[in-house]
Structure 1
Amino acid sequence: MDATTSSSHAYIANLIDKYGDMIYRLSLTYLRNRQDAQDVCQDVYIKLFRHMRSFNDDEHEKAWVIRVTINTCKDAIRSPWKRWFLPVSDDLYSITSNDQFDVVSFVLTLPRKYRLVIHLYYFEGYQGNEIAEILNLNEGTVRTQLKRAKELLKTKMLGGME
């Protein structure tokens, strides 16, 4: 193994250590199926290896990894082999209580566009303007989607108790 191959392997190993859990959680949020999420993770790792880049900072790198993950999820959904209605996985995120499981279960019932912005906002800690940049959307669209997602979650969680 030459020095270039060794540094490439170290680079990919570093990306996987840094972002592996995030890639999996994001894929699972997007696809709602453990097996498909694992397949997407492998595809993302291959894409990261094939298109190694240098970045100005960690935030730019993270945003790029998220964008690659989302695009790979979209590819998986468009695949003719994709099964559309699948059970929700129960190993999502690092759930430590029933309350957390309930919240995540409700999030997974949201339409995909809402699940994605909720995940990026609450689980990855991005602000509206950053989400807009990552998803190539207007910031106003992201704010609207977040607002509607919160309203849907509130309705689902309260179950008509208002």
Structure 2
Amino acid sequence: MEALPLRAGGEMDAIIDRYQDMVYGLALTRTGNRTDADDVFQEVFLAYHQSGKTFRDEEHRKAWLLRTTVNQSRRVTSSSWRRKTVPLSEREDTPVQFREPEENQVWTALQSLAEDYRLPIYLFYFQELSTQEIAKVLAIRPGAVRMRLTRGREQLREKLKGAYFDE
């Protein structure tokens, strides 16, 4: 069996440096805990390293990494092992800590949303993707993305009422 072409170390380091926050953030948003996000992160960049795929431009590379992250995250969260285990505590992992307490509250509220709303909001606000780009990454229609963003914002507003929004 022939080995797949591997990327040069310097190129790989540059790609990881450029996209690590995007991949890890999406993995954390999708899986809900750091341990699984770490696994997804490693699997995504391993797949990239081994693929030998050439990309038309940086947008194509970014889209491939986002789609691969979503697919790998889905694989982790839907595994039979995960469904059959019980966490040691209600919080499987230590919460993400940001510099400002407000950022922690927003992140906690975002994590409490259903995945259908959490992922589009994360990709739109944190990764600054358009609704068209989000639709491609999540394999749904742009109209569905806009509806999920609207409903997700409403749920976030409700969860953050009093802290950031008037009652």
Write the deviation string for residues 86-127 of structure 1: whole angstroms up to 9, x where unpaired.
6254235xx220111111110000001111001100000001
Partner of 1:126: 129
Partner of 1:158: 161
Q: How far off is 1:70 after superposition?
A: 0.5
Partner of 1:68: 68
Q: Do the aligned partners of residues 24 and 126 (structure 1) sit closer, same or farther apart at CA in structure 2, a change above 3 Å counting?
A: same
2:107 to 97, 104, 111: 104
Number of matched pairs = 156
Q: How far off is 1:151 after superposition?
A: 0.5
Q: How far off is 1:8 after superposition?
A: 3.0
Q: How far off is 1:84 after superposition?
A: 7.2
Partner of 2:44: 44
* Percentage identity across paired residues of the two chains: 33
Q: Which AA in structure 2 matches 1:129?
A: Q
For 1:40 and 1:102, how far apart are their aligned partners in 2?
25
More helix by share: 1
Q: Does structure 1 residue 90 correspond to structure 2 residue 95?
A: yes
Kindly indicate whether the alpha-carbon contact (under 8 Å) linking 1:40 and 1:72 is maintained by their aligned counterparts in 2: yes
Structure 1, unpaired ranges of 5+: none
Q: Which AA in structure 2 matches 1:90?
A: P
2:143 to 122, 140, 143: 140
Partner of 2:59: 59
- Matched position secondary structure for 2:39: helix
Kindly indicate whether the alpha-carbon contact (under 8 Å) linking 1:40 and 1:73 is maintained by their aligned counterparts in 2: yes
* Root mean square deviation of aligned Cα: 2.1
For 2:166 and 2:31, how far apart are their aligned partners in 1?
30
For 2:79 and 2:121, how far apart are their aligned partners in 1?
25
Further displaced range: 150-159 or 123-132 = 150-159
For 1:34 and 1:138, how far apart are their aligned partners in 2?
30
Give TM-score, length-normalised by structure 2.
0.84
Structure 2, unpaired ranges of 5+: none
For 1:28 and 1:84, how far apart are their aligned partners in 2?
19
For 2:94 and 2:152, how far apart are their aligned partners in 1?
21
Write the deviation string for residues 112-157 of structure 1: whole angstroms up to 9, x where unpaired.
1111001100000001111111211101000000000000001111
Partner of 1:20: 20
Report runs of 4+ in structure 1 exceeding 3 Å deviation.
Answer: 83-86, 159-162
